[in-house]
Amino acid sequence: MADIDELVSQVWNPASKVLAAEVWRCYNAGAVRASIVSLWTTITVDLITKIGHLADDGDSGAIKIRADIIAAQQKGLQSEGIRQMQDIERDLLDHGEKLELFDGLDKRALDRIRDDRNVCVHPTLRGMETPYVPQREVARAHLAVALEVLLLHPPTQGLKLIERYSAFTSGAIFTPTPELIVELFYRKVRAGIRRTIVEIAAKHSFLELPTDTGLPASELADRNAKVLTVLADQDRPLVLAAAEKLRERYAALDGDAQLRALARLGDQDFFWDTLNQTVTGHLDTLVGKPPTSGDHVPLKVTAAAVLSLVGNSLARQKLPALEGVFDSLTVTQKVSAITTRPTQYFVPSIVAMLKNASSYAEATEITPALISHSRFLSVQQLAAVLTECSANGQCWHAYAMPPTLLKVYRETTHLGTDRVSVFQDFLDRMSDENHKSSDVYYTYPQLRAAIAEPVTS
C-alpha cells in the first residue's frame, strides 16, 4: 500500500495539498464519510486550478471552460450562479479527459469517487431503510487513486508531454542527467503516459526506428537508451514489459542493427531478460567474429561498445565469446573498448599493458585508459600501476606520462592521504640511478609539487 502521508506531501497544487491533508486527517479520525466528501471537493478544486493553468498556456478548450467558471463565480451565491457551477462540476471529469489531464480508465476511477461522494451526502439514495455507510477501506483506496491519477501531477497534457519527450531526445543539445529525466518523465507523470514514454524509448533503443528529427536513427536510439536505463532504475518491471513486446521484432533485425542495440543496452539486465536463448546464442556468434579494424587503428564505435561489455559480469555470462575476443585485441583496440565503458574489471588489464608496453607510443596510447579508471583504483592497484610505470622505461619516459600521473593523483582523492605515500615511493624511484634523465621534465616536477600540497583525508 502506498505511503499516503508521503504522497499527500507531494501534491502538486498548494491549495489541493491543504485539502488532501484534510481528507487524510478525516480518514485517520474515523470520519470516513467526511473523508470521501472532502476528497471530491479536493478533486474539483484541483481540476479547476489545472484548467486555469492550461488556459494561461493558450489551450482553447481550457479558455472556454475557464470563462464559464468565471461567469458562475461572478454570480456568487445567487441561484443562477450555483446552478451554473453545478453544471460545470457535473462535466468536470469529461473536461479533464478531453484536456488529457487523465485518460478514460482514470476517469472511470474518478467517477466512482464522485458516485460515492453523492451517496455520502445523499445516503437515502439507496432507500430509507438501508442508508449508505461508506467503508474505511474504500475511502483510503479512493484517496490513493485520486493522488496517483490526478493530484500528484502538474497540468501537463498527455500528447504535449509526449511531444516534449520527443523534443528532449532529438534536440540539438541532449543532456541525459538522471535527476532531470526522472523529474520530467517519471516522478509526476500519470501512469498511462509514463508507460507510453517508456514504450517509445524502448522501441527506439531496440529497433532504431526511422526518424524525421534530422538525427540519424542510431543516434536517436542511443539517446533513448540513456533515458530507458534511467527509467529502468525507477521501474524495472515497466521497462521490461515494454522491452518484451519487442522480442520478435528485435530478433528479425539484421546483425549490424542487433549489435548496435547490444552496444547500447548490453549492460542492462532487462535487455537480457527480453531475449530467448536462440537470439542470445546468435549474438554470441556475432560477437565472436574478430574486429575488422587494423592492429594499430582504434575499434569502430559499435565494436568498441560491444567489446567493452566484457567488463559487465552479466554480459560475460551471456556472451562467452567476449573474453576471448577482448584478450586477443591489440593495445590500441583494447584501449578503445576500455575507455568506452570504464569499470573496475579493466584495472588489471591496464596494469598489464603498462608492464608490457614496448614503446613510448604504446605507453602513450594506454594513458587515456589509465586516467578514465583512476576513480576505480584501490591503494594496492595504484601501487601496482606506479610500480609498472617505474619499472618500464617505455612508460615513465613517455612524454605523456608526467601529466597523466598528475591527473591520476588529482582523480584518486577517494584514497585520501593513503595515496600520497604511494606516489612518493614512485617519485623516490624516479630519483635513483636507474631513472636518471638529462631532462628535468622526466623527474615529474609538477607531480612533486602537487604531493607537497596539504592533503585532507
Q: Is residue 332 part of a domain?
A: no
Q: Read off φ and ψ for residue 103, nearest 5 degrees.
A: -100, -175
Q: Out of 151, 184, 218, pick the residue that ends a domain.
A: 151
Using the structure block, give the residue that is written with the C-alpha cell 451554473.
Answer: 84
Instruction: Please give the model's pTM, rounded to 2 decimal places.
Output: 0.74
Q: State residue 161's pLDDT score.
A: 86
Q: State residue 127's pLDDT score.
A: 67
Residue 306 grid coordinates: 560491444
Q: What whole-number distance in Å separates Cα of residue 452 and Cα of residue 440?
A: 18
Q: What whole-number distance in Å separates Cα of residue 206 and Cα of residue 209?
A: 9
Q: What whole-number distance in Å separates Cα of residue 91 and Cα of residue 84?
A: 11
Q: Residue 252, SS3?
A: coil
Which helix H or strand E contains 332, and what residues bound it?
A: helix 331-340
Q: State residue 1's pLDDT score.
A: 43
Q: Where are the beta strands (DSSP E) in 127-224?
A: none
pLDDT tens-digit series, residues 349-372: 999 999 999 999 999 999 999 999
Q: Is residue 276 part of a domain?
A: no
Q: State residue 76's pLDDT score.
A: 82
- Helix, strand, coil % in the chain, rounded to nearest 5: 75, 0, 25
Q: Is residue 140 part of a domain?
A: yes
Q: Residue 231, SS3?
A: helix
Q: Out of 107, 128, 151, pick the residue that ends a domain.
A: 151
Q: What whole-number distance in Å separates Cα of residue 453 and Cα of residue 394?
A: 29
DSSP state string for 30-49: T-HHHHHHHHHHHHHHHHHH
Positive or negative: CA dihedral 168, 173, 178, 180: negative
Q: Out of 93, 116, 151, pick the residue that ends a domain.
A: 151
Q: What whole-number distance in Å separates Cα of residue 267 and Cα of residue 177?
A: 18
Q: State residue 160's pLDDT score.
A: 82
Low-confidence ranges of the chain (pLDDT < 70): 1-2, 127-129, 455-457
Q: Is residue 374 part of a domain?
A: yes
Q: Is residue 64 part of a domain?
A: yes
| Exposure b/e, 416-446, CB count within 10 A at least 16 = b | eeebbebbeebbebbeeeebeeeeeebebee
Q: Is residue 256 part of a domain?
A: no
Query: Whole domain around residue 435: which residue ranges?
Result: 343-457
Domain count, the chain: 2
The alpha carbon torsion through 105, 21, 238, 319 (nearest 10 deg) reads 180
Using the structure block, give the residue that is written with the C-alpha cell 582523480.
Answer: 411
Q: Is residue 455 part of a domain?
A: yes
Q: Is residue 249 part of a domain?
A: no
